[in-house]
Amino acid sequence: MSAPSMAAALAASLPAPAAAATPAAPTYEAIPPSMSTAIDVEAEIPLTCVQLDALVVSKIIQHSQDSPSGSAHGLLLGLDLEGTLEVSNSFPLPNHTNDDDEKVSKSLARYQTSMLRSLREVQGDDNVVGFYQATSLGAFYSQSLIDTQAIHQERLRHGGVVIVHDVSQTARGTASFRAFKLTPSFIDVYKKSNFSASSLVHHRLTFSSILEEVPLRIRTNPLLSSFLNVLAAPSSASPYTSAHLGSPATSAIPPSYSALDLGNSGLARNLEQVAEGIDNYRTEEGNVAYASRQIAREKLRLETHLAKRREENAQRVSQGLNPLPEEDVSRMFKIPPDPSRLDSLLLLGQLDAYAKTLESAAGLGLAKMYAARAGHTT
C-alpha cells in the first residue's frame, strides 16, 4: 500500500524532468571563421600538398631496401589539415605471392585492422590516407597500383594518395619520393570499365593523364631535428682530428659523396628495361590489332548476311509476301567488344618512365664526365 504512494511522493519531489528534456533539440554553434579551415567535415578543401614525416621517409626507405626490388608496399597513416595531407606513420603490408586469393585478402584485412588497433593504443594515428609503393627505375605504372588506388580513391577521405619511392634513384644518391592521385577523367573511365578507344578519345586520356602529381614535402619535427643535428654534428672526441684542415671531420653521419660516383652501371639495366618495354608494347599492340581484325571480320560477315536478307526481302515484297525481320540475322553474329586499351596505355606509361629515367641518368652522366675531366686535366 505504501509503495506506490512513496513513488508518487518521490516523483512529485523531483523537479519535473520530462518538461526540461523536451526543448533540448541540439543547437549547433556556427563554426567560427577562424576555425573553418581547420574543421573540414565533408572533405571540401582540396588537397594541395602531401607532407611526409621523417619517420615515414625512413621507414619506406628501409622497407624498400629490405625487400626484393619493386615489391615493397604498405599503408600510410595520417590526417589532412587545411589542404595538407600530413602522413605521420606507415606500416608495411606483406607480399601476397600465394595463389589462394580469398584467404590471403581476408588475413590481410585482419592484419590491417589489428595493426591499426595496436597503433591507436599507443596514441598513434590510425587513419589510413593512402599507400606507398617502391619501384625501380621510375616505372610504377602497373595494374595493381592503379587498382589499389582506385579502391582507395573511392573509400578514403580525399581519395588518398599513393607515394612512389624509387629505389634505384635513392641508390644513386637522390632520395626520390613522389605523390600521385588518379585523375578524375581516368576514374570516370575506370568506373565504367570501358577502355575502348572511343571512350579514351572522349575523355582525352593518354598515359600521361592517368595520374596527377601532388606536391610533396618532407617534414622533421623539432625534436627529431635537434636529435639529427646532434648526430650530424662533429664529435669533439674523435681520435684523429684534422684540425689543420679547418674543421674536424668525424661525426655519426659523415658527409657523403655518392652523388659524384662516375660509374654508370645502372644504364645497361635501364636500356634493357626500355627494350623489354618496347617488346611488351609490340606484343600488346599485336593483340589489339588481332582483336580489331576479328571485329572487322565479324562485322563484314554480318553486313553480307544483312545484304542477302534485304535482297531476299525485296524479292518477297515483289512477290507480295511479308518481308522477313532483319533482327534475327544480327542476332546470329556476336560482335566482340572493342579491345581494352588499358594495358597498352600502362605499357606506354611504363616505357615513357623508363626512358625518362634513362634520359636523366645520361644527362647527369654527361655533367659528371665533364667535371671529372676538368678535375683530371687541371
Binding residues among 46-105 for another protein as defined by CB under 8 A = 51, 53-55, 57-59, 61-63, 65-68, 71, 74, 88-89, 91-95
Among the residue ranges 23-31, 180-188, 199-207, 305-313, the one whose residues contact another protein (CB under 8 A): 199-207
State the nearest-atom distance from the C-beta of 271 to another protein, in Å.
7
Q: Which three cell numbers stand for residue 195?
A: 577502355
Q: Which three cell numbers stand for residue 332?
A: 546470329
Residues 279-298 binding another protein (CB under 8 A) are: 281
DSSP assignment of 13-43 equals HS--HHHHHTT----PPPPPTTTTTT--TT-
Among the listed residues 275, 271, 254, 255, the one whose alpha carbon sits nearest the alpha carbon of residue 365: 271
Contact residue for another protein among 286, 323, 325, 363 (CB under 8 A): 363
Closer to another protein at the Cβ: 37 or 118?
118
- Assess 185 for contact with another protein (CB under 8 A): no
Contact residue for another protein among 169, 182, 189, 211 (CB under 8 A): 169
- E strand or H helix that includes residue 130: strand 128-135
Residues 116-135 binding another protein (CB under 8 A) are: 118, 121-124
Among the residue ranges 25-33, 126-134, 142-150, 193-201, the one whose residues contact another protein (CB under 8 A): 193-201
- Assess 265 for contact with another protein (CB under 8 A): no
- Assess 225 for contact with another protein (CB under 8 A): yes
Among the residue ranges 30-38, 311-319, 323-331, 354-362, the one whose residues contact another protein (CB under 8 A): 354-362
- Assess 106 for contact with another protein (CB under 8 A): no
Among the residue ranges 146-154, 187-195, 317-325, 342-350, the one whose residues contact another protein (CB under 8 A): 342-350
- Nearest-angstrom CA–CA distance, 358 and 351: 11
Among the residue ranges 21-29, 138-146, 250-258, 306-314, the one whose residues contact another protein (CB under 8 A): 250-258
- Nearest-angstrom CA–CA distance, 106 and 99: 13
Contact, 218 vs 362, CB < 8 A?
A: no
- Orientation angle between helical segments 143-155 and 184-192, nearest 10 degrees: 100
Contact residue for another protein among 38, 218, 296, 317 (CB under 8 A): 218
Angle, CA of 142, 145 and 147, to the nearest 5°: 105
Adjacent-strand bridge partners of 211? 182
- Nearest-angstrom CA–CA distance, 279 and 271: 12
- Assess 255 for contact with another protein (CB under 8 A): yes
Helix (H, G, I), strand (E, B) or coil at 310: helix
| Main-chain dihedrals φ then ψ at residue 212, nearest 5 degrees | -115, 140
Closer to another protein at the Cβ: 31 or 253?
253
